[in-house]
A = this chain, B = another copy of it.
Amino acid sequence: MQQSTEEKILAAAAKVFMEKGMAGARMQDIADEAGINKALLHYYFRSKEKLFDEIFKEVSGQLLPRLNQIIESDISLFDKIWAFCQEYISRMVENPYLPLFIVEETNKQQGAFLERHLGNKRLRLDKLAQQVQQEVARGTIKPIHPLELFLTIISMCAFPFLGKPLLQHMSGMNDDMFNAMMEARKSEVPKFIINAIKK
């Protein structure tokens, strides 16, 4: 095992926190998952809260920069919608627990939490907003508020991972079928959105 103890803990904590959430995760679960003693957890990370913060920072710090990079890039609006959906869905297929983890904790943790973790690296929508307004003015797309467009994009990309159990229950879909559907949605979603807004 090349992994240092700290890395083992972080990997184990990420897994357990993402599966069970902050409230449902047990320090013992994390210790077991990491194959170490519970006391060693507290040796590396003083408290559950500190460890959780570390994981949340790591996890959100991994995703947001990549999305920001796309959102602020110089490509055309339609290309940007494509790139965003592709990247977002690809990341979530790799890590299907992520959307629920983020959504759950941003809803449950107290106000200061979001500021602490995302204060510096929040998504910058300025450029996207500018592009939308340009295209509206130019008459290539129907009038739409940039934030609404963004919300729609992220809704279509993220929600399927949140509603997966319900969806599977309703349709009898297994995991492979779900993944195949999400693979298809990497292009279906941007096509759908562009169809909806283009004149």
Residues of A bordering B, CB below 8 Å: 20-21, 23-24, 100, 102-104, 106-108, 114-115, 118, 122-123, 125, 142, 147-148, 151-152, 154-156, 158-160, 162-167, 169-171, 181, 185, 188, 192-193, 195-197
Contacts and interface: CB of A to CB of B under 8 A. Distances in A.
B171 A147 contact: yes
A122 B170 contact: yes
12 contacts: A20-B23, A21-B21, A23-B23, A102-B166, A114-B165, A118-B166, A154-B163, A155-B155, A155-B156, A155-B163, A159-B162, A192-B197
Contacts of A103: 100, 103, 162-163, 166
Contacts of A23: 20-21, 23-24
Contacts of A162: 103, 107, 159, 162
Main secondary structure of the interface of A (DSSP, over half): helix
Nearest to A111: B165
A188 B145 CA distance: 11
A170 B103 CA distance: 14
